[in-house]
Amino acid sequence: MRVIGEDEIVSIEGGGKEEKMLVSVRLRPLNSMEIARNEFSDWECISNTTIIYRNSGADRSVMPSTYTVDRVFGCECTTMQVYEEAAKEVVLSVVHGVNSSVFAYGQTSSGKTYTMNGITECSVADIYDYIERHEEREFVLKFSAIEIYNETVRDLLGTDIIPLRVRDDPERGTIVEKLREETVRDEDHLKTLLSFCQAQRKIGETCLNEMSSRSHQILRLTIESCVRRFSGKDSFSSLSASVNFIDLAGSERLSHALSDGTRLKEGCHINRSLLTLGTVIRKLSKGRNGHIPYRDSKLTRILQSSLRGNARTAIICTISPAQSHIEQSKNTLLFATRAREVVTSAHVNAVMSDKDLVKYLQKKLAKLETELRHPTSASSTSHSEALQERDARIRKMEKEMKELIQQRDLAQSRLEDLLRVVWDDQVSRDWDELSQLSASSELNAYEDVLLTSDTSLDSLFRGDKCIEPQLQLSNTQKEGYATLPRNSSVSPMSKTSLVSHQGTEGAEQDSYSDFEDLCKEVQCIEMEESKTSVKKEFDPSLTNNDHQEHGSKDSKLNTDMSLTTNDNSNAVSTILLVKEEEIKNGRTNGTAIRIYTDELPPLTFEDGASYRTLALSKSRSCRATVMTSHHLKDSPSPRRPQGIALESNPGQIVPAYVLKKPNEKSVSEDNITSICEFVTELKELAQTHYQIETSCSQELEQGKDFGIVRSVKDVGLDPMTNWLMEFEKRQQEIIELWHACNVSLIHRTYFLLLFKGDPADSVYMEVEHRRLLFLKDTFSSSMRNLRREREMLCRQMQKMLSTIERDRLYLKWGIELYSKKRRMQLVKLLWSETKDMEHVRESASLVAKLIGLLQPEHALKEMFGLCFTPQLMNKRSYSCRNGLYSIK
Ligand SMILES: Nc1ncnc2c1ncn2[C@@H]1O[C@H](COP(=O)(O)OP(=O)(O)OP(=O)(O)O)[C@@H](O)[C@H]1O
């Protein structure tokens, strides 16, 4: 057993000390496989700190290169030597209350596990040696271990393979939830735990290494110590720190490793997380400013404090001497030289004992009391200055708060107004298109008869969305019913409400495709799912129960009348039939009837009631509404589309029209009420969140003043935490719905980057969530826009990224460098794994980069309250719609 001298141990007392990472390189000897392939080594350690590549091979295109790090170990060096010079000092900081980490980094089969196993063994021996020699202190050792395999975290001390969640704790930083921590009894116990973890770790055979580690392994030993007897000195007597032994999985050229199936997938995950580690190190090496993407992988997230924060860090980079691995070795050395520039700031983690704490507080109290009783001029001046400063801060905060409230109110009222205006506008435009289309087509196409009543409107259209035509009464027919025969003189206005299917098929298609977009955009248009459901709606033989299914409980006309039609006829006119007596009574019961007009059959209604033809005219006062929570939750088929399907194309829809009697409150007006209710509901929601947040921060503030901060949490009142949990849950649901609804990737990116968990975002989250629920259940997903967007992103990739950047991306996303359609392969991967938040964030950041969205926070959040998907546009502006336009 070696004895460590006191002077050997680095003592860092007091505040944080900035220092660079300790970086060394270890070159392993050629292994038997390499020797069998007649490989040779061109690496030479020319000094303790410099390694050089001489390139004596046939290919002289690669120039010799020199790399300098803190320490270089040639193939003749033992692991003990490596430990003594490259790790020991850092590792043993832990017994002095300073966190530390030792990494092994390098390509697969370069000797990481070989080196780390030795270093862990030596460290354990030295730590126990130190403990034995310091009897005046009492030590408690705790051990935990994880592996990160395919981006899932697993407890190596357990035999189950349940993935563990990584979470950010406000006090402890990034933590792994439910991770086991064993209290170590003695050195032998620790060794047993280490071998258990080793056996648990994922190992697999690859072409380059029979026993390749397929996961990143992090072993953590926490050492708490305190003096056995209180010394009486006014100093910290308890220390607590952790040392991490990190054996990373090895990077691999997938082509070299000849991986497939599971190994290939593992390789992709390994490369991706190592690339993130490389990026983090590169950014840190340039200074601490700017965004460091720790959250891009679980590895960097968990190691965040070791890479930047309160820890001393040593990195041992291992390389293979073989000529065939030259490229990977050079990458490793590049990583090493960058890591040398990274600075961490370690400090002693001292824990005050209760006795010390009481003494400290008593002293402080006495000092404050003295100051209060005998205020010196200096102290009173500083008090008044502090008060003034505080007042100024409060005033500033009040001002900011007012501005924020104003902004929020403005956004909400805009949401309210624009929902109406946008809808009015768009439906009018669309209606114009439909009118033209309708006017240009022959009216001898079949037309649908829609006879409906105010009482059944709510059920027929689910009370959600409707357009408000004016009702005109005309031609009372002798027999008591009215028809609109072919070529009859229908006023142009009434024609606009009829839809023809004959001729102008191309225009029709275009119109319908735009129309489909329009319908997706606002939830105001009802649709019918299929021809069969239309028939059901029109079929006079339906029973009352059938109609009740559609909510038409009072549809007496349907059941009472019998209708004779010529089924072979292909020409149908649309008329509106309303019982005359019901109109007189101020109420109408009715249904839609299809009438064939080639040979207009006599229509006989059993009840002999008289009916009138109602010509529909277009109303410009189209109104929009939004589905309320009532509709979502309580309705028996809450999001079932209603409306009229076109027989020639059942997938397409036409708007349903509502008959309105003068001076009668229309369903549209009801819908305006529901918009208001909805907006009010959202406002209330936002306000509740806002109040909770405010009261929470006030309570915490008061708690701080009175030393009761903990009590707020103890009783479980942590609204911020609740909100964040709620936010994450809702965000996950939205992400999945985006995927299901084929929502624009750019829209997703904007939304994700803008709404990051601020309580004021709740209103937008709620709107987005409801909108997507509606889209999902109502519309068959259209891939077309998404496909075009992907093509656009492919083009952007060519434009915005250099070849090197693209190659890095392919590597990161596991795409073969020389495979066909690499860009499209990559774009197709974006946003594909909805459950993996790291993947989602990476996708968003790449899309943002491709569309030049450098500062997403500058985008207006309010825009998400207004419109989410492409607006209805004419054909000429279509390409725009598939691009950035869709995020408006
Ligand atoms: N310095 C060394 N001296 C002798 N043998 C070594 C040395 N380094 C590594 N080896 C041997 O090389 C082989 C590969 O080493 P090891 O498994 O540690 O590589 P690795 O980098 O951890 O690989 P992977 O990333 O695939 O897990 C092992 O058989 C190991 O014994």
The residue type of 349 is N
Residue 661 pLDDT level (bands cut at 50, 70, 90): very low
Judged against a pLDDT cut of 50, whether residue 833 lies above it is answered with: yes
Residue 858 pLDDT level (bands cut at 50, 70, 90): low
For residue 81 and ligand 1, the question of a CB distance below 6 A is answered with no
Residue 793 pLDDT level (bands cut at 50, 70, 90): very high
Residue 268 pLDDT level (bands cut at 50, 70, 90): confident
pLDDT digits (tens, 9 = 90+) for 531-543: 333 333 334 443 3
pLDDT digits (tens, 9 = 90+) for 54-84: 876 655 555 568 899 999 999 999 999 999 9
**Rounded (10°) angle between helices 784-800 and 745-754:** 70
- 582 three-state secondary structure: helix
Nearest ligand 1 atom to alpha carbon 110: 21
Judged against a pLDDT cut of 60, whether residue 772 lies above it is answered with: yes
Mean pLDDT of 418-429: 65
CB distance 752 to 848 below 8 Å? no
**Which of these, 446, 692, 706, 739, lies nearest to 570 by C-alpha position?**
446
| Residue 494 annotated as part of some ligand binding site | no
Nearest ligand 1 atom to alpha carbon 206: 26
- What the block records as the tokens of 58 is 């046939």
Which has more pLDDT, 384 or 786? 786
For residue 212 and ligand 1, the question of a CB distance below 6 A is answered with yes
Give the pLDDT score at 261: 63
> What pTM did the predictor assign?
0.46
Which has more pLDDT, 101 or 759? 101
- What the block records as the tokens of 233 is 């000195």
Residue 183 pLDDT level (bands cut at 50, 70, 90): very high
What values do phi and psi take at 596, rounded to 5? -90, 125
Residue nearest to atom 1 of ligand 1 (CA): 28
Give the pLDDT score at 634: 37
For residue 110 and ligand 1, the question of a CB distance below 6 A is answered with yes
Judged against a pLDDT cut of 70, whether residue 693 lies above it is answered with: no
Judged against a pLDDT cut of 80, whether residue 867 lies above it is answered with: no
For residue 267 and ligand 1, the question of a CB distance below 6 A is answered with no
What values do phi and psi take at 27, rounded to 5? -100, 125
**Rounded (10°) angle between helices 112-133 and 187-200:** 160
Judged against a pLDDT cut of 90, whether residue 550 lies above it is answered with: no
Residues in contact with 619: Cβ distance below 8 Å, sequence separation at least 6, in sequence order: 467, 468, 469, 470
**Residue from 114, 117, 149, 270 to probe ligand 1 pocket by mutation (most atoms less than 8 Å from CB):** 114
Report for 14-28, 124-138, 472-486, 871-885: range of highest mean pLDDT? 124-138
> Mean pLDDT for the chain?
67
Percent of the chain surpassing pLDDT 90: 19
User: d(Cα 219, Cα 306) in Å, to the nearest integer?
Assistant: 13
User: d(Cα 237, Cα 234) in Å, to the nearest integer?
Assistant: 9
Judged against a pLDDT cut of 70, whether residue 879 lies above it is answered with: no
Which has more pLDDT, 255 or 776? 776
Give the pLDDT score at 238: 80
For residue 642 and ligand 1, the question of a CB distance below 6 A is answered with no
pLDDT digits (tens, 9 = 90+) for 442-464: 333 333 333 333 333 333 333 33
Question: Could you give the residue ranges of the DSSP H alpha helices within 662-760?
Answer: 667-705, 709-714, 719-740, 745-754
| Residue 660 annotated as part of some ligand binding site | no
Residue 821 pLDDT level (bands cut at 50, 70, 90): confident
Q: Based on C-alpha coordinates, what's the Rg of the chain?
A: 37
Judged against a pLDDT cut of 80, whether residue 112 lies above it is answered with: yes
For residue 250 and ligand 1, the question of a CB distance below 6 A is answered with yes
Given phi > 0 = left and psi -120 to 50 = alpha, else beta, which region is 227?
A: beta
**Residue from 113, 206, 316 to probe ligand 1 pocket by mutation (most atoms less than 8 Å from CB):** 113
Nearest ligand 1 atom to alpha carbon 31: 12
Given phi > 0 = left and psi -120 to 50 = alpha, else beta, which region is 288?
A: alpha
User: d(Cα 623, Cα 671) in Å, to the nearest integer?
Assistant: 8
Which has more pLDDT, 652 or 856? 856
User: In DSSP terms, which residues pair with 316 in a beta bridge?
Assistant: 24, 104
Residue 131 pLDDT level (bands cut at 50, 70, 90): very high
Mention the CATH class of domain 6-12+19-348: alpha beta
For residue 251 and ligand 1, the question of a CB distance below 6 A is answered with no
- What the block records as the tokens of 493 is 């206005």
Nearest ligand 1 atom to alpha carbon 28: 1
| Residue 106 annotated as part of some ligand binding site | yes
User: d(Cα 55, Cα 40) in Å, to the nearest integer?
Assistant: 10
Mean pLDDT of 16-32: 88
Residue nearest to atom 10 of ligand 1 (CA): 111
pLDDT digits (tens, 9 = 90+) for 590-609: 333 333 333 334 433 334 43
Which has more pLDDT, 663 or 355? 355
Residue nearest to atom 11 of ligand 1 (CA): 111
Give the pLDDT score at 768: 86
Q: 318 CA to middle of ligand 1, Å? A: 9
| Residue 111 annotated as part of some ligand binding site | yes
The residue type of 672 is I
User: d(Cα 747, Cα 140) in Å, to the nearest integer?
Assistant: 52
Helix (H) or strand (E) holding 514: helix 505-521
Say which range, 169-183, 369-383, 389-403, has the weakest mean pLDDT. Answer: 369-383
Give the pLDDT score at 655: 33
Give the pLDDT score at 600: 39
Question: Could you give the residue ranges of the DSSP H alpha helices within 205-260?
Answer: 254-257
Percent of the chain surpassing pLDDT 70: 54
Mean pLDDT of 626-651: 36
Residue 221 pLDDT level (bands cut at 50, 70, 90): very high
User: d(Cα 153, Cα 756) in Å, to the nearest integer?
Assistant: 24
Say which range, 401-415, 723-737, 819-833, 850-864, has the weakest mean pLDDT. Answer: 850-864
Residue 102 pLDDT level (bands cut at 50, 70, 90): very high
- What the block records as the tokens of 657 is 């029209």
User: d(Cα 210, Cα 582) in Å, to the nearest integer?
Assistant: 87
Report for 225-229, 262-266, 342-346: range of highest mean pLDDT? 342-346
User: In DSSP terms, which residues pair with 26 in a beta bridge?
Assistant: 73, 318
Q: 501 CA to middle of ligand 1, Å? A: 74
User: d(Cα 107, Cα 96) in Å, to the nearest integer?
Assistant: 33
pLDDT digits (tens, 9 = 90+) for 272-320: 888 889 888 888 887 766 788 888 889 999 988 888 778 899 999 999 9
The dihedral built from the CA positions of residue 407, 413, 416 and 421, taken in this order, carries a sign that is negative
Q: 235 CA to middle of ligand 1, Å? A: 46
CB count in 10 Å sphere of residue 3:
10
What values do phi and psi take at 475, rounded to 5? 20, 85
**Rounded (10°) angle between helices 261-285 and 803-812:** 130
DSSP letter at 207 equals S
Residue with tokens 């207009």: 600
Q: 111 CA to middle of ligand 1, Å? A: 3
CB distance 376 to 344 below 8 Å? no
Report for 215-229, 484-498, 853-867: range of highest mean pLDDT? 215-229
Judged against a pLDDT cut of 60, whether residue 203 lies above it is answered with: yes
Taking the domains of the chain in order of start, what are their residue ranges?
Answer: 6-12+19-348, 416-675, 718-887
User: How much is the ipTM here?
Assistant: 0.98
- What the block records as the tokens of 675 is 């918009």
DSSP letter at 420 equals H
User: d(Cα 586, Cα 590) in Å, to the nearest integer?
Assistant: 13
For residue 113 and ligand 1, the question of a CB distance below 6 A is answered with yes
**Which of these, 585, 563, 559, 560, lies nearest to 575 by C-alpha position?**
563
DSSP letter at 750 equals H
Mean pLDDT of 389-398: 85
Which has more pLDDT, 678 or 223? 223
Judged against a pLDDT cut of 50, whether residue 567 lies above it is answered with: no
Q: 8 CA to middle of ligand 1, Å? A: 30
Give Cα 257 to chain centroid, integer Å. Answer: 33
